Structure 1
Amino acid sequence: MKKGNGVAVGNDGWLYWVGRTNEVEAFYGDTALSRRILKRWARLIAKRARRLDALGIHHVHAVVPDKLAVYPDMLGRAFPGLDEPPCQRLAQCVAEVSDAPMIDLLPPLRAARSDEPVYLRTDTHWTYRGYLAAYRTLCEALHAPVAEHVFTGTQLRERFTFDLGEKLHPPVDEEYVAYDFPRGAERIDVNALVRLRESRRAVRPRGLFVGSRVVMRNAAAADPRRVVIFGDSYIYSPGARLTAMLSETFGEVHAIWSANLDWSYIEAIRPDIFIFEIAERFLRKVPTDRIDIDTFAKRRAKRALRPTLSKWIRQQLNRMG
């Protein structure tokens, strides 16, 4: 098995994303660069907290630790920063400048791995067990009840070639547990990007995720509070991920795939709870919080309907011929 582009091959087929130019390794250790970036994040989170406090919105920030931090033993080589990964160093930086609550997902994920894997071997994402551990931790932090039926869903073993496995030559697939549970929540709104992606009309279909927005409502939820979540692929999916799980607990959930906050949207919705989630590897880029999410989605959807230059040239040549 050859090393793929940006992928480190560890023990027993475990794959890790380390970056095409070792940027993950450069950031993961306690370097001048990482300290500077984490301090910028801490100032941003403190600024967000002040604004959310002024709006009367309960808020939490959570960093999803990289698989490196939860399964360092399977990497098979030394790697900087594993004793104190960026997610924990960020929490320390935030505590120095603010009382903004940070949720530490590392201990529950490390504890849960003793039962069965919480990360996929050939991908950067969690298994269903990882999502369940994070869901329980979030609910506990928000003083909300978990929906017990989320933990007693159906399990079906399937095979799939995930993102990291796809980067190897030859590609490597993996057997995993496809997990689902009964849904009490219904989707009541989506933006233009979600509509286009689901219509399959996009000429440029790849990457049509950032900017997505969905709204879920659950009249039977045990906790009637309204939640707005900004995050990435860990929260947003029509499958059994955090948006679906939290929608079984809370009365209304707005899930937005963006590291930048749309303050106009937050102020218009006035949620009871605000959650921000980000994968640890994405901490390298500090957002500006300057975005109108639905305007961004419309523009991106419009671009995705345009043919690429090469395809346009072929179309013109075909017409001429």
Structure 2
Amino acid sequence: MTSGNGVAVGQDGWLYWVGRAREVETFYGDTATSRRVLDRWARLIDRRARRLDGLGITHLHTVVPDKLAVYPDRLGRPFPGVADPPAARLARMLACRNPAPMVDLLAPLRSARDDEPVYLRTDTHWTYRGYLIAYRALCEALAAPVAEHVFAGTRAQERFTFDLGEKLKPAVGEDYVAYDFPRRAERVDANALVHVRESGQAVRARGLFVGSRVVLRNPQAPDPRRLVLFGDSYIYNPGARLTAMFAETFAEVHAIWSANIDWAYVEAVRPDVLIFEIAERFLRQVPTDRIRIDAFADARARRASRLTLRERLGRWLR
């Protein structure tokens, strides 16, 4: 069953994002549209790889598989393309063009899926186990040591209404295990968008993520390299996500929520390593890499501040 909000209700309470107008199905299958979009991605990644090679920066791309690809059986009905999802087809296209480093997360997530859930039932994101699997796979690809204390965090049972669950009426919550681990890294910088969101005064704080940038340093890190990380909600700093994990491995981590690479920022920071991560469902839109992340964040922060002022005035006038 699919709700009007684009959420498919599978077996045993498993929820999937399938889109409001079958856009996920159209892209997931081997269609003319998906082939055209993936070809554009392959060309973009090839250009990025060549530029990063020219700068002497170690780099890799990775795609976070959709839950459809890892748990197709829990959907309860056939779905096109799950046996050969877009990320797998993109990796093959890249291998034919130029072997730009592409880390496969699908295989390790599929192999671990039955031991303990690697995705939340009512959300598109991983469980903590899923994050650990991705963290280990990416560290191995970069010959970077994993921080063992990340695997030994404290755990607590909590209940939360996640993104897919809140789209249903009535909303559906989920019991899950929340983890935390000792943090040796400290945040030393954040851009304006992060500060506005964390102030708690933005009207639509939940939407103020794209354009965020934070920098973390860890003098006790086992790997002295500087990492710049471009990605989405799978990487971001709050909670036990990839940014926090990488900051326990690398001496300095710059985490930027953006599908576009800010080349001026990369050339100014001159990292040793660059990782680009994107969720499979977002592959439908190919970025242009024309962004200046802090200027973009400043503009979003100013708009949010203006909205906040209008909201306060509106309440006062009422």
Say if 2:262 is the partner of 1:257. Answer: no
Q: Which residue number corresponds to residue 295 of structure 2? A: 295
Give TM-score scaled by structure 2 length: 0.97
Residue 96 (str. 1) matches residue 65 (str. 2): no
Query: Is the contact between residue 219 and residue 251 of structure 1 (CA under 8 Å) also seen in structure 2?
Result: yes
Identity %: 74
Q: Which residue of structure 1 lines up, in the alignment, with residue 178 of structure 2?
A: 178
Displacement of 1:65 in angstroms is 0.2
Write the mapping of 1:100-179 to structure 2, written as runs, cut at 5 A. Answer: 100-179=100-179
What is the root-mean-square deviation in Å for CA atoms of aligned residues? Answer: 1.7
SS of equivalent to 1:227: strand
Give how far 1:95 is off. Answer: 1.4
**Counterpart Cα distance in 1 of 2:109 and 2:2:** 29
Letter of the 2:17 partner, please give it: W
Q: Distance in 1 between matches of 2:17 and 2:308?
A: 29
After superposing on structure 2, the runs of 4+ consecutive aligned residues of structure 1 that deviate more than 4 Å are: 308-316
Cα deviation digits, residues 173-214 of structure 1 (max 9, x gap): 000011110011111100000011111121332310000000
**Does the aligned pair in 1 maintain the 2:2–2:8 contact within 8 Å?**
no
The amino acid across from 1:38 in the alignment is: L
Instruction: Measure how far apart 1:146 and its partner are.
Output: 0.5
Measured in 1, the distance between the counterparts of 2:19 and 2:48 equals 29
Deviates more, 1:111-120 or 1:125-134: 111-120
TM-score, length basis structure 1: 0.96
Q: Give the drift of 1:113.
A: 1.3
CA separation in 2, counterparts of 1:94 and 1:83?
19
Amino acid aligned to 1:186: E
Amino acid across the alignment from 1:72: P
For 1:191-202, what aligned pairs fall within 5 Å after superposition? 191-202=191-202
Task: Please tell me whether the aligned partners of residues 212 and 297 of structure 1 are also in contact (alpha carbons under 8 angstroms).
Answer: yes
Relative to 1, partners in 2 of residues 1:115 and 1:100: Cα closer, same or farther, differing over 3 Å? same
Match of 2:47 in 1: 47
Count of residues in Structure 1 that have an aligned counterpart in Structure 2: 318
Where structure 2 has 5 or more consecutive residues not aligned to the other structure, the ranges are none
- Consecutive unaligned residues of structure 1, counting only runs of 5 or more, are none
Question: 1:306: which partner in 2?
Answer: 306
CA distance in structure 1 between the aligned counterparts of 2:56 and 2:204, rounded to whole angstroms:
41
1:312 deviates by 8.4
Distance 1:10 1:284 in 2: 24
Partner of 2:25: 25
* Letter in structure 1 aligned against 2:266: I
The answer for the alignment partner of 1:75 in structure 2 is 75
* Separation in 1, partners of 2:140, 2:84: 24
The 1-side partners of 2:170 and 2:66 are apart by 25
Contact 1:135 1:242 in 2 (8 A): yes
Q: How does 1:193-272 map to 2 (within 5 A)?
A: 193-272=193-272
Aligned-partner SS, 1:158: strand
Q: Is the 8 A contact 1:204 1:305 kept in 2?
A: no
Match in the other structure for 1:187: 187
Partners of 2:218 and 2:312 in 1: CA distance: 45
Alignment-mate amino acid for residue 138 of structure 1: L
